[in-house]
Amino acid sequence: MDTEIKLSGWSPALMTGKTKLQEGGSLDLTFCDLSYCVGKGKFCKKLKTILHQISGSFKSGQLTAILGPSGAGKTSLMNILAGLKKSGTQGKVYVNGAERNFKTFRKKSAYITQKDHLLRNLTVDEYIISAAHLKLGNAVSNKEKISTVELVMKTLGLTNSQHTRISRLSGGECKRLSIALELIDNPSVLFLDEPTSGLDSSSSLQCVALLREIARSGRTVIATIHQPSFRMLNHFDHLYIVASGSCIYQGTVGSLISYFKSMNLNCPSFHNPADFALDVASGEYGDVLERLVSGVENGRKVYQDTSMETTTSAVESNSQNNTGDIDADEEVSMLSGLPKKKLATGSRLMYAAPFHTQVAVLLGRTWRTIWRDKILTTMRLGVHVLVAILVGFLYWQIGDDAASIFNNVGMIFFNMLFIMAAAMMPTVLTFALDTEVLIREHLNQWYSLKAYYLARTLADIPFQIFYPVVYLVPVYLMTDQPMSLERFGLLLAMMIWLSLVGQGFGLFFGAAFDIQVASFFAPTSIVPIFLLSGFFVTFDSIPRYISWLTYFSFARYGFEGSMLSVYGYDRSPLSCSESYCHFRFPEKFLEQFDLTRSSYSWSVVGLLVNYILIRTAGYLALRFKLRHVR
Ligand SMILES: Nc1ncnc2c1ncn2[C@@H]1O[C@H](COP(=O)(O)OP(=O)(O)OP(=O)(O)O)[C@@H](O)[C@H]1O
């Protein structure tokens, strides 16, 4: 029955022997009368019950499959067991017989999402090494980290592709990498949401065989699974079948057919038992769910003995069987007489690595990914150069000509708009993927959101300086702005501030909304801000009851600062290419825009406040997202 799978470059011996990976404590998971309801919010007055008081027991050393039709509640159950979902839940979860402590349990478990959200521009070894630094912390020496990384790569068959960029990995390799990243700190429990989805049958089989070997090393491995093939099904030690939020079977794969038979449901010959179970769960064999649920007492019992075709009351031994061997006669400890082996509850640090290490590792990693994103980096550079040249020719040598002074202001305003948009839009578009990676890693306790956000903010700064410089130098020279290094510096500082604020807006919209909403909402909400800059309508002309709004417009500060850089500070009269120029004196021109009382320093303060506000809003949006992710 049991099929032996040959895995290229992967050594099961590493998992079965006494290895470093084996040193973590074994954790048996038992849950009792779990219910989960959703709804009853602002928009939904009715409660929808997803899980109906289900119970069950998943042991260490075993690979458990949670099976069921779509919408049965598999993912919900796993999320609750993993501690990712708390609100709307009722019932108890025990770990080694003691009631689960969320914090401690999260530290000892890892959750591998269905989609492999990975940083595509890192290589396999870079990613695993960064995970080692973050997850093992400074208490483990670098030498030990490297040997752990090598062991994990060897175990997961990733050694041959260790220098390959993740964007070039196959689906199966990506899945193995996702598992490798979480195995680094030796979690006792692994949750996997549909680990085989998107993989071909041979990769799926390899993946499940690998999971079984991981389980054999003493871990509790739980995976939701969709329509496993017969061969794949045989790799699971324990099956837990969910239908409409209730448990209709719990036991070994071998006992499944006899259980159904005992319920007068005969699986046709040559039929995959998993398919049959799914058909039954979907109601294709009539209204039998109630009977099946009571057959295993909604998961309180484990169906065990095929020859006797009976269900056995589940008691004791929950903590006794940590070897990973499946003993058919064994009774499973569940709801009564639970052993009182308690997990150490933690006053320990939430994250393995200290804050500064988290920031340093994330900074290095973010830098690499931005730098290696050649298409985006080159495109951004190219766009800045091309637009600068276009603007240079369009406004050729007008900077000192009073006859073209309004054109020059138009050019200054355009610079603001362009720098802002060029910083904002790439962030809006790329941050959606980054957020997925953040969610996965943060939920698995790699690092704090604060460390991530700080690293992200710091990593972006060089780019927000570089692009405005690349843009402004040719524009300044070609349009013949005043040849003063000081004025150039002041104008450049304004552009850099606008770029930073623009990038902050991109981050906020990327964090708060999904990509479709954000890419519409970000540019359209920036437009009214520019309307209040003082360029389209002077501050004097804005009605009093609305003029206070201009103080919230970063564009106002950008415009004031830019105008003062070019026309302020007692600039000498401009030349005039026509017989009469009304605005030869820059001071008079500033009066026209109601800018004589403006101050460059206040403009900087205004932009700084805007920068801090928008960055804080971005942080809060991300925090909200992380809390409501499931
Ligand atoms: N927050 C929610 N609000 C409303 N309904 C929800 C919510 N979360 C889950 N559900 C519903 O609960 C049911 C179970 O969802 P769950 O994702 O657990 O199913 P599943 O068995 O994992 O399905 P699939 O195999 O298709 O992923 C579904 O009908 C789903 O629509």
Instruction: Report pLDDT digits (tens) over 509-520.
Output: 999 998 889 999
Tens-digit pLDDT profile for residues 18-37: 344 444 478 899 999 999 99
pLDDT averaged over every residue in the chain: 85
| Residue 331 to residues 22, 59, 328, 453, 473, Cα–Cα distance (Å) | 25, 12, 8, 49, 77
Give the predicted TM-score (pTM) of the model: 0.81
- How confident is the model over 476-508, as pLDDT tens digits? 999 999 999 999 999 999 999 999 999 999 999
pLDDT band at 335 (very low <50, low <70, confident <90, very high): very low
pLDDT digits (tens, 9 = 90+) for 8-22: 333 333 343 334 444
Ligand 1 pocket member 88 (CB < 6 A): no
For a mutational test of ligand 1's pocket, the pick from 36, 37, 38, i.e. the residue with the most ligand atoms closer than 8 A to its C-beta, is 38
Quote the DSSP letter at residue 296: T
Q: Is the distance from the beta carbon of residue 269 to the nearest atom of ligand 1 less than 6 Å?
A: no
Tokens 């290419």, residue? Answer: 577
Angle between helices 142-155 and 171-183 (to 10 degrees): 140
pLDDT of residue 171: 87
- What count of other Cβ atoms lies within 10 Å of the Cβ of residue 339? 16
* 92 Cα: distance to centroid of ligand 1 (angstroms): 21
Residue 319 has pLDDT above 80, yes or no: no
Q: 65 CB contacts (<8 Å, ≥6 apart)?
A: 223, 224, 225, 228, 233, 236, 238, 239, 240
Res. 628: pLDDT tops 50: yes
Report the residue among 46, 48, 50, 86 best suited for mutation to probe ligand 1: largest number of ligand atoms under 8 A from its CB.
50
5: helix, coil or strand?
Answer: coil
Q: Mean pLDDT over residues 599-616, rounded?
A: 96
Average pLDDT over residues 524-536: 89
Residues 6+ apart with CB under 8 A from 95: 27, 28, 29, 30, 101, 105, 343
CB 249 within 8 A of CB 239: yes
Between CA 336 and CA 316 the distance in angstroms is: 7
Q: What distance in Å separates the CA atoms of residue 433 and residue 514, rounded to the nearest whole number?
A: 10
Of 47, 24, 238, give the one whose Cα is nearest residue 110. 24
Two tokens, residue 609:
């406040």
Give 376's pLDDT tier (boundaries 50, 70, 90). confident
* DSSP 8-state class, residue 399: T
Cα 114 from Cα 453, distance rounded (Å): 25
Residue nearest atom 28 in ligand 1 by C-alpha distance? 71
CATH of domain 26-115+185-312: 3.40.50.300
How far apart CA 537 and CA 76 sit, in angstroms, is 55
Task: Please give the pLDDT value at position 340.
Answer: 32
Percent of the chain with pLDDT over 70: 88
The residue ranking higher by pLDDT, 489 or 544, is 489
pLDDT on residue 605: 97
pLDDT at 526 over 80: yes
Distance 347 CA to ligand 1 centre (A): 35
List b or e across 498-516, with b for residues whose CB sees 16 or more CB atoms inside 10 angstroms: bbbbbbbbbbbbbbbbebe
Q: Which residues pair with 34 in a beta bridge?
A: 54
DSSP string, 484-526: -HHHHHHHHHHHHHHHHHHHHHHHHHHHHS-HHHHHHHHHHHH
Residue having the nearest C-alpha atom to atom 26 of ligand 1 = 70
Please, are residues 512 and 518 in contact by the beta-carbon 8 Å criterion? yes
* Residue with CA nearest ligand 1 atom 18: 73
The C-alpha atoms of residue 362 and residue 364 are separated, in whole angstroms, by 5
Atom of ligand 1 nearest to the CA of 78: 18
Q: What percent of the chain has pLDDT above 90?
A: 52
Instruction: For residue 259, report the distance from its CA to the centre of ligand 1, in Å.
Output: 27
Give the pLDDT score at 433. 75
Please say whether the beta carbons of 74 and 224 come within 8 A: yes
Reported as a pLDDT band with limits 50, 70 and 90, residue 443 is confident
Q: Please give the pLDDT value at position 145.
A: 92
Q: Is the model's pLDDT at 333 over the cut of 70? A: no
Query: Which amino acid residue places its CA nearest to atom 5 of ligand 1?
Result: 38
For 272-298, how does the pLDDT look when each residue is reduced to its tens digit (9 = 90+)? 888 999 999 888 888 888 889 988 899
Quote the pLDDT of residue 565. 97
Atom of ligand 1 nearest to the CA of 242: 21
Give the domain ranges of the chain: 26-115+185-312, 355-627
For residue 461, give both structure tokens.
């700064």
Res 600: pLDDT: 96
Residue 444 CA neighbour count, 13 Å, CB half: 32
Measured in angstroms, how far is the CA atom of residue 229 from the centroid of ligand 1? 23
- Decide if pLDDT at 624 tops 70: yes
Note the pLDDT tens digit of each residue in 86-139. Answer: 888 899 999 998 899 888 888 889 999 888 899 999 999 999 999 999 999 888
Q: What is the 3 state secondary structure string of 96-158?
A: CEEECCHHHHHHHEEEECCCCCCCCCCEHHHHHHHHHHHHHCCCCCHHHHHHHHHHHHHHCCC
The owner of tokens 């623009």 is 502
SS3 280: helix
- Report d(CA 559, CA 530) in Å as an integer: 9
Specify the residue with its C-alpha closest to ligand 1, atom 2: 38
Confidence of residue 46 (pLDDT cuts 50, 70, 90): low
Q: Is the pLDDT of residue 320 over 50?
A: no
Q: Which amino acid is at 379?
A: M
* Residue 612 alpha carbon to ligand 1 centre in Å: 38
Q: What is the rounded average pLDDT of the residues 617-630?
A: 87
Mapped onto helix, strand or coil, the DSSP state of residue 596 is: coil
Query: Residue with the nearest Cα to atom 23 of ligand 1?
Result: 71
For residue 337, pLDDT beyond 80: no
**d(Cα 76, Cα 88) in Å, to the nearest integer?**
11
Contact present, 36 and 51 (Cβ < 8 Å): yes
The pLDDT of residue 24 is 47
Q: Is 50 in the pocket of ligand 1 (CB under 6 A)?
A: yes
**Comparing 85-89, 167-171, 216-220, which segment has the lowest mean pLDDT?**
85-89
**Quick check: CB of 76 below 6 Å from ligand 1?**
yes
CA of 441 to the centre of ligand 1 (A): 23
Tokens coding 595: 């800018």
Mean pLDDT for 203-225 is 90
- pLDDT range class, residue 330, cuts 50, 70, 90: very low
pLDDT at 42: 52
Instruction: State the pLDDT at residue 345.
Output: 41
Strand partners, 192: 112, 223
The predicted pLDDT at position 186 comes to 85
**What distance in angstroms lies between residue 103's CA and the mean position of ligand 1's atoms?**
25
* Nearest CA owner, ligand 1 atom 6: 38
What's the pLDDT at 270? 79
Residue nearest to atom 13 of ligand 1 (CA): 71
